[in-house]
């Protein structure tokens, strides 16, 4: 018998802190403040400031395991918290400033946050819930235009009083590093607790050529907020590689982002489809206004990107959009849609179809799909089932043991997405499990029907949902909003769908509506549609 | 207190086996056999064949922890052993076919190998030591032109008798996976035992954009042998990404390699400087003979590459050569010499100097250098000290606890290389610790003096070594071999060195020799030079 002889070096975020300090002291961080001024600093500045923050938090009584929340836009000081809090052994909790105050009350209370670091521009939001969270002992205000009010602490004043060194402990790699909560469309939001190990492994993955390929030559603009799954790991990847970081602060309008991309010579940007749709529209309108010669690639995720957008960027502007899929529970990189040599002989349209899929499993991640009967489905590109994933940066539980039904007995996470998987492992999302239409034992994808309807010239928006049906259990109903001044007959819509799907997918009923009811984040609120119109097929 | 909620998924090679089978069944492996025929198979073929090999080895009595050796060139079946052996819980031991039989006797006996898988063309070598290694119970012959002789087993016949499935166990990530021995210029070779964890982390690192950047679109030609530190991890990286693998088998002549690169449309190749020097000479001679349009990058490591070679490839042939440094003890990726944005303003010569350095620490690796007094030296690009490294794929010990003096009390590995480290972390090797010349407490780099001397038009080879000196302890002596028909005076050589170094670096003595004595692997044998001429300065 032989024993391994390799060093026992735990994977902890302290490595990033030291690496950035020693190898990349000259790498830049650029942050746009609330007043639009650009704040410039370096990775060399980051280390002593993270030490000062750790000293200040220690002085405020923060101990290993304590939760320190942030309610901040993307900026340099947020990166300081990203490093100082986990490296001192505490747990970073990034609060989502887009949530309703009642959700924030619940989340901050559930996590037991003891300190909140908040942008002064977000104090009005904090004021709506901080008093209802008794665990919060201190509020530290990052003055981005305003001053710290009475009863709060000023971030810069706190740091100014501290030493620029801190004895960061040697932590076990399983130590909690950060918490994010799911947006929780059903029931309360649930907490996912990332460990140092899961975060470090995810950081390595983000820098791999087949995922985001982040490297030292890059200038990164994470448009995705730092309160969304750690900005998809991009700040950590920058620290690992020495890539320059650019933050837009609260200014997420397309024009402001394009200005920033051009002036800072951004090579890589990442965000949700709505951001890129706005940017594409601006680029199409004024294709020569911005010099984006250095911009090579954009990662789009968070929700499915329209193929026309992916195509538009590459065909009209020479920018590669990479489609990725992930969730809070997957840190978030789950799958990425890269072409492989097996696609060399496909035509442009077929290649676009591959690039518009959710892609195949990122390194160390595994995917499978299971039908309603629990059987693992074949990778045939047709069988629809719930996507399940597994991997070292995938949640195996929720904080407090909640939501046990989302985890299988054999150790997989149930994503709630209904997908097909093809023979090369490419995943395509058809629906959310709660929205898929179950017609006589067969599944119908509401998303695919909606996309087809919305490609009709007269249709502004279309939502397809399950109507209750006496014989088939459920049948599709389509709610349609016309474009201003436009209209189509039911026969015309049916003709438009014809040949695109099996005939049993065709909706039983088309309903004209003024607007599709939506959630606070802009997603179709199908529960409301079912409530209003779900019994229409029973009455006929 | 909160607990981490992430899945406990160990990092094991079984993941690669499953990933290659499920995601990349169509990825190709091309192997050139001893008779130069090209053998083609796919990752889809690999899985059942690895299962058959695992079944066959089990039938031969191989148990978890047992060592299974290979004595093979680079080819598909060697990859099967790379996967089957560690995944069944046994330990792969790749024997270096370039070693002397007495070393192989020692190494195979020290590792306690129980089975050897050997290419039939290498049976004459095996015959020279197998009888002296009593632990070897079975010899399995991969017939690459010859047949399995009596008393041995035929690889293909063994596999043909087995099932294409195997219950690969769920191993802990600290389980030993593979053993490599150092070449051991002093004393016996020493064993490094890689674990599943260290190998998987190293595989992730190899695929990162800033190291080798291996991705699914690549076609990889590891010219580096699979018995040299697992071919630098390239076969594992191919399995992780789905990249096509091309193996040259025993045919490592420049012309044969160039033919293979062109015909298989290789995008990435890796090997030692001597290989690339030969290839560069061929390309310079016949620049249009081979279509290398797809070849993007070459990694050169194993020993220091001449800047003129790095420059020649990129300037004359548009091929990027990446310089990397590593050792058996570092799995091997330790540092890589990539340019960063901080170098944007340098001129071509300065950039070449950066690219010709050993580079900066790979992700998860740490570097430092220490002087003779044990003090950690500043990163000033001048102070020379021994390079020490640390990281999760760096050895923390040798097999059997040998060579304890190579590991520091605070957990670093002493590389034996004398280096400088600059302010951005770029490491430059000046010497081996045993070859650096210690003159009155100051260190003189023999390697730099040799490179300068060899740039003189009359000098074919030059070796600089330490002569014993009554006052300064050691002083440099240069042994010079003239080019055929050429010669220079001592004054001319001194003039050639003038201004390139501090004046105290100048050799005290120049000796004309017919040839520099060399080791079996072609390195200068400075111990011999010291033995012959080391006292010359005492006599004067």
pLDDT in tens, A475-498: 999 999 998 899 999 999 999 999
Burial of B118 (0-12, 13-18, 19+ CB in 10 A): buried
Q: What is the pLDDT of residue B185?
A: 58
Judged against a pLDDT cut of 90, whether residue B225 lies above it is answered with yes
Is B329 one of the catalytic residues?
A: yes
- Of A192, A200, A340, nearest to B5 by CB-CB distance is A192
Among B68-82, B177-191, B279-293, B453-467, name the most confident range.
Answer: B68-82
Could you give the C-alpha distances from A115 to A111, A136, A157, in angstroms and in order? Answer: 11, 5, 16
Give B27's contacts in chain A (Cβ within 8 Å): 341-342
Q: Which structure tokens are listed for B455? A: 């740039």
B416, B334 contact by CB (below 8 A) = no
Q: Which band of pLDDT confidence, cut at 50, 70 and 90, is reported for residue B184? A: low
Contact B111/A2, CB-based, under 8 Å?
yes
Question: Which one from B80, B162, B264, B329 is the annotated catalytic residue?
Answer: B329
Top-tier CATH class for A437-539: alpha beta
Tell me whether residues A7 and B413 touch, CB distance under 8 A: yes
Assign B442 a pLDDT band (cuts: 50, 70, 90).
confident
* Best residue of B7, B195, B334 to probe chain A, by most A CBs closer than 10 Å: B7
pTM, to two decimals: 0.93
Nearest to B2 among A174, A193, A393 (CB): A193
- pLDDT the model gives residue B372: 87
Question: pLDDT tens, B357-383?
Answer: 999 999 999 999 999 899 999 999 999
Over 90: is that where the pLDDT of B431 sits?
A: no
What is the rounded average pLDDT of the residues A331-358? 95
Paired with B320 in beta bridges are B297
Q: Which chain A residue is nearest to residue B389, measuring alpha carbons?
A: A7
Confidence of residue A521 (pLDDT cuts 50, 70, 90): low
Cβ atoms of B324 and B359 closer than 8 Å: yes
The answer to whether the CB atoms of A207 and B3 lie below 8 A apart is: no
- Ranges of each domain in chain B: 14-252, 365-432, 437-539
Instruction: Convert the pLDDT of each residue in A70-87 to its tens digit.
Output: 999 999 999 999 999 999
Q: What is the mean pLDDT of residues A443-457?
A: 89
Compute the distance between CA of residue B170 and CA of residue B88 in angstroms, rounded to an integer. Answer: 9
Q: What are the pLDDT digits (tens) for A131-184?
A: 999 999 999 999 876 678 999 999 999 999 999 999 999 999 999 999 999 976
Give how far Cα A44 sits from Cα of A24, A27, B265, B361, B535, Å.
7, 8, 43, 17, 50
**pLDDT value at position B175?**
98
Given this model, what pLDDT does residue A520 score? 65
| Number of C-beta neighbours around residue A509 at 10 A | 15
Which of A160-174, B98-112, B443-457 is predicted least confidently?
A: B443-457
The CATH number of B14-252, from 3.30.565.10, 3.40.640.10, 3.40.50.12780, 3.40.50.10490, is: 3.40.50.12780
ipTM associated with this complex: 0.92
Residue in B5, B195, B363 closest to A204 by CB: B363
Banded model confidence at residue B501, pLDDT cuts 50, 70, 90: confident
The answer to whether the CB atoms of A26 and B364 lie below 8 A apart is no
Q: Could you confirm whether B443 is annotated as catalytic?
A: yes
| Residue B324: per-residue pLDDT | 95
Q: Which residue of B has its CA nearest to A331?
A: B6
A365-432 and A21-252 share a CATH fold = no
pLDDT at position B307, please? 86
* Contacts (Cβ under 8 Å, ≥6 apart) of A6: B193, B194, B195, B197, B198, B331, B392, B393, B394, B395, B396
Q: Which residues of A touch B9 (CB under 8 A)?
A: 364, 390-392, 394
Within 8 A of A341 by CB-CB distance, chain B residues are 27, 216-217, 219, 244
Percent of chain B clearing pLDDT 90 (strictly above): 84
Please state which CATH number belongs to domain B365-432. 2.30.38.10
The Cα A14–Cα A54 span in angstroms is 13
Distant-in-sequence, close-in-space partners of B127: CB < 8 Å, separation ≥ 6: none
**Residue A186's pLDDT is what?**
62
Q: Average per-residue pLDDT in chain B?
A: 94
Per-residue pLDDT tens digits for B327-336: 999 999 999 9
Q: Confidence band (pLDDT; 50, 70, 90) for A431?
A: confident
Identify from B208, B216, B339, B388 which residue to disrupt to test chain A contact, counting A C-beta atoms within 10 A and taking the largest count: B208
pLDDT of the residue at B432: 85
Chain B partners within 8 Å of A241 (Cβ): 209-210, 363
Nearest chain B Cα distance for residue A508, angstroms: 38
What was the pLDDT predicted at A185?
A: 59
Q: Which position has the token pair 């674990």?
A: B195
Report the alpha-carbon distance of residue B456 to residue B510 in Å, rounded: 14
CB-nearest to B195 from A4, A15, A391 is A4
The verdict on a CB contact (< 8 Å) between B9 and A398 is no
Query: Chain B contacts of A358, Cβ < 8 Å?
Result: none
Q: Is the pLDDT of residue B137 over 70?
A: yes
- Among partner residues B25, B111, B208, which is closest to A208 by beta-carbon distance? B208
Of A208, A206, A299, residue with least CA distance to B213: A208
Interface-testing mutation among B193, B198, B209, B239, with chain A (most A C-beta atoms within 10 A): B209
Contacts of B174 in chain A (CB under 8 A): 4
pLDDT surpasses 70 at B93: yes
- B273 or A183, which is more confident: B273
CATH 3.40.50.12780 matches A21-252: yes
Calpha distance B76→B42 (Å, rounded) = 9
Q: Is B351 a catalytic residue?
A: no
Length of chain A measured in residues: 540
């Amino acid at each position: 018998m032989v024993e391994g002889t390799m060093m026992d070096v735990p994977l902890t975020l302290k490595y990033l802190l030291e690496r950035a300090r020693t190898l990349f002291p000259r790498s830049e961080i650029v942050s746009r403040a609330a007043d639009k001024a650009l704040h410039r600093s370096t990775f060399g500045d980051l280390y002593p400031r993270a030490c000062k923050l750790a000293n200040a938090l220690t002085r405020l009584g923060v101990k290993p395991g304590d939760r320190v929340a942030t309610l901040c836009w993307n900026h340099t000081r947020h990166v300081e918290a990203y490093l100082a809090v986990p490296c001192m052994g505490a747990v970073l909790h990034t609060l989502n400033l887009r949530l309703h105050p009642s959700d924030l009350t619940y989340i901050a209370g559930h996590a037991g946050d003891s300190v909140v670091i908040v942008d002064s521009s977000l104090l009005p939001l904090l004021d709506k819930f901080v008093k209802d969270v008794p665990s919060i002992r201190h509020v530290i205000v990052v003055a981005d235009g305003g001053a710290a009010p009475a009863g709060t602490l000023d971030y810069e004043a706190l740091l100014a009083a501290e030493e620029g060194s801190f004895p960061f402990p040697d932590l076990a790699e399983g130590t909690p590093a950060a918490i994010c909560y799911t947006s929780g469309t059903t029931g309360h939001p649930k907490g996912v607790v990332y460990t140092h190990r899961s975060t470090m492994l995810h950081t390595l993955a983000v820098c791999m050529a087949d995922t985001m390929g982040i490297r030292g030559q890059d200038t990164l603009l994470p448009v995705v907020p730092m309160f969304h799954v750690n900005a998809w790991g991009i700040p950590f990847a920058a620290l690992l590689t020495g890539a320059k970081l650019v933050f837009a602060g609260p200014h997420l309008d397309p024009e402001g982002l394009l200005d920033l991309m051009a002036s800072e010579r951004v090579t890589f940007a990442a965000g949700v489809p709505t951001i890129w749709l706005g940017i594409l529209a601006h680029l199409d309108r004024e294709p020569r206004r911005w010099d984006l010669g250095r911009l090579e690639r954009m990662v789009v995720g968070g929700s499915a990107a329209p193929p026309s957008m992916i195509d538009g960027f590459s065909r009209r502007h020479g920018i590669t959009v990479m489609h990725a899929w992930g969730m809070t529970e997957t840190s978030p990189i789950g799958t990425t849609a890269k072409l492989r040599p097996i696609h060399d002989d496909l035509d442009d349209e077929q290649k676009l179809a591959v690039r518009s899929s959710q892609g195949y499993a990122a390194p160390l991640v595994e995917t499978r799909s299971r039908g309603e009967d629990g059987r693992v489905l074949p990778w045939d590109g047709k069988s629809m089932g719930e996507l399940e994933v597994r991997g070292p940066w995938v949640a195996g539980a929720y904080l407090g043991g909640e939501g046990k039904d989302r985890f299988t007995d054999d150790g997989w996470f149930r994503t709630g997405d209904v997908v097909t998987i093809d023979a090369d492992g490419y995943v395509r999302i058809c629906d959310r499990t709660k929205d898929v239409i179950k017609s006589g034992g067969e599944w119908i994808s509401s998303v695919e029907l909606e996309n087809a309807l919305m490609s009709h010239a007269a249709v502004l928006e279309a939502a397809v949902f399950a109507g209750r049906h006496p014989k088939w259990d459920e049948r599709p109903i389509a709610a349609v909003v016309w474009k201003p001044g436009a209209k189509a007959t039911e026969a015309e819509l049916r003709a438009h769908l014809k040949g695109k799907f099996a005939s049993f997918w065709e909706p039983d009923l088309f309903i004209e509506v003024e607007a599709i009811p939506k959630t606070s984040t802009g997603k179709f609120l199908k529960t409301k549609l079912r409530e209003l119109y779900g019994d229409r097929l029973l009455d006929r």
